[in-house]
């Protein structure tokens, strides 16, 4: 009999504990939408009341199939659940599910909270009952469950069971400090089931401090748990949380899990896993981890000569799964054949059908290779890739020529003795044989300086002759900069995301030691892509 296994994503809450990670509300919404499409069951949105971004996220709950969950803590001692303002903020978020963390380790109850063991159990029961009586689904996060079980097994089991008895849909066993090993998790999970909490009410929440977060999640499921918490790309405090990007394909593709369970993620949405992983990296402006399980760029790269030649005979000789199942692909260095068929597929998805064996294919591959060695990256900058490919295919009009530009940034005191800055750009372009010279300042809606790239973009689009209307609705939505290696020198890579009036979005890339130059090139690519896609007449 196939059983249901529930996936609970906490990228937006525990994932935000990663050093250097701070989502905006808009980014949280985008990630939630992606998680929903992937098929997770719960999306933990944050802790309402803990910080402005989390509160704002809950003010306008996203419409998802997945349950958006608010996180908080059990009521404090000495007040009723109704009178606890922290708990009230969580309840007021209005989510259909609420997850409350509480203590189950005697040491923490006595030293961190400074209350009696009985009071703590009472806080857990009352808080869970409060959530349930409000008609919400209650989840209880049993903090330090595994450490507690080692220290005082009876008390830890009693505290966890109190949550179940009070009506918690899930009692989630947390390895808060991340130090538990698989045999610890197996033993304590089984003990809780024996103590009377059924496995289909038990969840697992692990951390990667000993690189066992995935194994600990799997062993908990083997012991009976039916709910797994984790984050995309294993984001999370310290060494991160259990990596859902790894757990999902393992559960769907490997026995005994694959034959025993079903999850909200289907074999169809599994194909978007690599894309989802990359999208999160993009939002965070992080370099994707090449060696990531399943989705990493190196996950199916076969460098060893013996492996590569066997792979050519039969991929299953050195691959544990078919990479396309997770939207990834094989990399075999020196394999131009694979390169060309991939390329034709990619071009075809852009509406460019190129015959097998067309010499332009090799020219495109060579140019991509050469430019990637110089620091470019076409993984996300699809529009720049299309411009490059169209050039080689003779399908890219020039539209306009940039003769020169100059941009000045100045910071000085104004008449009121305030430090102010100002950017000014001059761009000279030639359209239809006519040279035009445009100048623009860069001023935001409030009259403040928006910087040199903004000034350049305005000056460039100010007078593009017959293309003026075509480009009038282009808006720059994001701008990412990274220092990377271009050959032996460090260069700047700029990725610009653009959007137009039709809601179309596209990304372009520019590379130069000079950040303004790199930005300008990405900007020009963005305009050219829009013109060619709109069929602007040359």
Which of residues 167, 479, 504, 533 is near its own copies by CB under 8 A? Answer: 479
- Establish if 153 lies at the interface with its own copies (CB under 8 A): no
Q: Are 262 and 41 in contact (CB under 8 A)?
A: no
- Establish if 127 lies at the interface with its own copies (CB under 8 A): no
Q: For residues 186 and 170, give the distance between their C-alpha atoms in angstroms, rounded to a whole number.
A: 18
Per the listing, tokens 């958006």 go with 68
- 167 burial type by CB count under 10 A (0-12 exposed, 13-18 middle, 19+ buried): middle
- Establish if 349 lies at the interface with its own copies (CB under 8 A): no
- Within 454-473, which residues bind its own copies (CB under 8 A)? 454
Query: Which residue, among 445, 457, 444, has the nearest Cα to 496 in the 3D structure?
Result: 457
Dihedral sign (CA 151, 130, 203, 101) = negative
User: Given the complex with its own copies, which of 184 and 470 has the nearer CB atom?
Assistant: 184
- In 325-385, beta strands by DSSP E: none
- Establish if 96 lies at the interface with its own copies (CB under 8 A): no
- Establish if 484 lies at the interface with its own copies (CB under 8 A): yes
Which of residues 132, 352, 481, 504 is near its own copies by CB under 8 A? Answer: 481
- Establish if 238 lies at the interface with its own copies (CB under 8 A): yes
Q: For residues 127 and 73, give the distance between their C-alpha atoms in angstroms, rounded to a whole number.
A: 9
- Establish if 260 lies at the interface with its own copies (CB under 8 A): no
Shortest reach from residue 107's CB to its own copies, in Å:
8
User: Given the complex with its own copies, which of 226 and 330 has the nearer CB atom?
Assistant: 330
- Within 387-406, which residues bind its own copies (CB under 8 A)? 402-406
Q: For residues 288 and 169, give the distance between their C-alpha atoms in angstroms, rounded to a whole number.
A: 36
The token pair that represents 100 in the structure block: 């409350």
Q: Are 497 and 506 in contact (CB under 8 A)?
A: yes
The token pair that represents 282 in the structure block: 């993009």
- φ/ψ bin of 10: left (φ > 0), alpha (ψ from -120 to 50), beta (otherwise): alpha
- 401 burial type by CB count under 10 A (0-12 exposed, 13-18 middle, 19+ buried): exposed
- Establish if 170 lies at the interface with its own copies (CB under 8 A): no
- Within 5-24, which residues bind its own copies (CB under 8 A)? 17-22, 24
Return the half-sphere exposure (C-beta side, CA atoms, 13 A cut-off) of residue 68: 24
The token pair that represents 401 in the structure block: 């020529």
Selected range binding its own copies among 90-98, 159-167, 232-240, 433-441, rule: CB under 8 A: 232-240
User: Given the complex with its own copies, which of 66 and 518 has the nearer CB atom?
Assistant: 518
Which of residues 135, 333, 357, 394 is near its own copies by CB under 8 A? Answer: 333
Convert residues 280-319 into a mask of x (bound to its own copies by CB under 8 A) and - (unbound): -----x-x-xxxxxx-xxxxxxxxx--x--x--xx--xxx
Convert residues 50-79 into a mask of x (bound to its own copies by CB under 8 A) and - (unbound): xxx---------------------------
User: Given the complex with its own copies, which of 307 and 533 has the nearer CB atom?
Assistant: 307
Which of residues 80, 83, 116, 448 is near its own copies by CB under 8 A? Answer: 448
């Amino acid at each position: 009999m196939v059983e249901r296994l529930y996936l609970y994503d906490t990228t937006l809450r525990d994932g935000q504990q990663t050093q250097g990670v701070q989502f905006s509300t808009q980014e949280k919404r985008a990630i939630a939408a992606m998680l929903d499409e992937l098929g997770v069951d719960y999306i933990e949105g944050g802790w309402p009341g803990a910080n402005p971004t989390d509160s704002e996220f809950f003010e306008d709950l996203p419409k998802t199939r997945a349950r958006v969950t608010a996180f908080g803590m059990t009521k404090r001692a000495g007040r009723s659940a109704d009178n606890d303002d922290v708990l009230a903020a969580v309840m007021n978020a209005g989510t259909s599910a609420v997850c409350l963390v509480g203590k189950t380790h005697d040491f923490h109850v006595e030293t961190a909270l400074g209350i009696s063991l009985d009071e703590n159990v009472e806080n857990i029961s009352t808080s869970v009952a409060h959530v349930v009586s409000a008609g919400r689904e209650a989840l209880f996060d049993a903090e330090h469950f595994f450490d507690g079980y080692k220290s005082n097994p009876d008390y830890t089991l009693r505290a966890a069971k109190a949550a179940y008895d009070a009506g918690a849909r899930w009692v989630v066993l947390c390895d808060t400090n991340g130090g538990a090993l698989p045999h610890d998790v197996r033993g304590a999970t089984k003990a809780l089931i024996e103590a009377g909490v059924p496995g289909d009410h038990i969840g697992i929440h692990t951390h990667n401090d000993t690189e066992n977060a995935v194994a600990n999640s799997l062993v908990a499921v083997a012991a009976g748990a039916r709910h797994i918490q984790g984050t995309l790309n294993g984001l999370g405090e310290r060494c991160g949380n259990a990596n859902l990007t790894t757990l999902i394909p393992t559960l769907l593709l490997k026995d005994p899990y694959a034959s025993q369970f079903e999850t909200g993620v289907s074999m169809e949405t599994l194909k978007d896993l690599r894309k989802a992983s990359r999208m999160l990296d993009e939002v965070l402006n992080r370099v994707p981890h090449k060696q990531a399980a399943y989705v990493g760029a190196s996950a199916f790269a076969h460098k060893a000569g013996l492996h590569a030649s066997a792979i050519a005979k039969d991929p299953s000789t050195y691959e544990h799964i078919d990479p396309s199942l997770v939207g990834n692909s094989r990399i075999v260095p020196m394999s131009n054949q694979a390169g060309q068929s991939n390329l034709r597929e990619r071009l075809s998805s852009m509406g460019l059908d190129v015959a097998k064996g067309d010499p332009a294919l090799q020219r495109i591959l060579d140019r991509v290779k050469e430019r990637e060695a110089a620091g470019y990256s076409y993984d996300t900058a699809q529009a720049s890739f299309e411009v490059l490919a169209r050039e080689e295919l003779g399908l890219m009009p020039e539209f306009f020529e940039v003769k020169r530009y100059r941009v000045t940034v100045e910071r000085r005191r104004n008449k009121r003795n305030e430090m102010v800055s100002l950017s000014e750009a001059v761009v000279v372009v030639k359209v239809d044989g006519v040279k035009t010279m445009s100048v623009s300042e860069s001023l935001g809606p409030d009259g403040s300086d928006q910087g040199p790239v903004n000034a350049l973009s305005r000056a460039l689009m100010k007078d593009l002759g017959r293309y003026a209307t075509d480009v009038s609705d282009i808006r720059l939505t994001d701008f990412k900069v990274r220092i990377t290696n271009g050959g032996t020198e460090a260069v700047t890579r700029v990725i610009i995301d653009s959007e137009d009036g039709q809601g179309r979005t596209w990304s372009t890339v520019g590379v130069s030691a000079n950040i303004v130059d790199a930005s300008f090139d990405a900007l020009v690519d963005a305009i050219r892509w829009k013109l060619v896609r709109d069929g602007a007449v040359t």
